[in-house]
């Protein structure tokens, strides 16, 4: 009869250590990929803001150009260039019978 029991055989710590290292490395890779994706999204957002600013500036330029072309003096100059002349009398078209009525009730 023996007074001491033989030491129990414990499993190796190597598989647990490999599992821990794998989890840590996987976490670091996930964080790196997430950070890279967020940085790419930030650059894309910046590019879109720059494009929006450029388009707003272009829109403002086009509105100014439209206002210049739609001014009464510009329209009058273009009409003269096309051979049109200012009206000497004002008339109205009657939609009922298609006749032209002059201002002041004369027809």
Q: How far apart (Å, rounded) are the C-alpha atoms in residues 66 and 64?
A: 5
Q: Is this structure's pTM higher than 0.85? A: no
What does each of the 107 residues of the chain score in pLDDT, given as a tens digit?
Answer: 567 777 777 778 999 999 999 999 999 999 999 999 999 999 999 999 999 999 999 999 999 999 988 888 888 899 999 999 888 888 888 888 988 887 755 54
- What distance lies between CA 31 and its chain's CA centroid? 29
CA distances 12 to 15, 18, 24, Å, are 7, 11, 20
Q: Where are the domains of the chain?
A: 15-85
Residue partners of 91: CB distance under 8 A and separation at least 6: 100, 101, 102, 103
Q: How far apart (Å, rounded) are the C-alpha atoms in residues 90 and 21?
A: 93
């Amino acid at each position: 009869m023996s007074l001491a029991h033989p030491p129990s055989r414990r499993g190796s710590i190597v598989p647990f250590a490999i599992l821990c290292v794998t989890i840590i490395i996987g976490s670091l890779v996930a964080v790196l990929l997430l950070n890279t994706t967020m940085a790419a999204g930030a650059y894309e957002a910046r590019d879109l803001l720059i494009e929006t600013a450029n388009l707003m500036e272009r829109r403002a330029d086009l509105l100014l150009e439209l206002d210049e072309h739609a001014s009464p003096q510009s329209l009058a100059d273009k009409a003269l260039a096309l051979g049109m002349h200012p009206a000497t009398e004002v008339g109205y078209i009657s939609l009922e019978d298609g006749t032209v009525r002059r201002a002041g009730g004369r027809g």
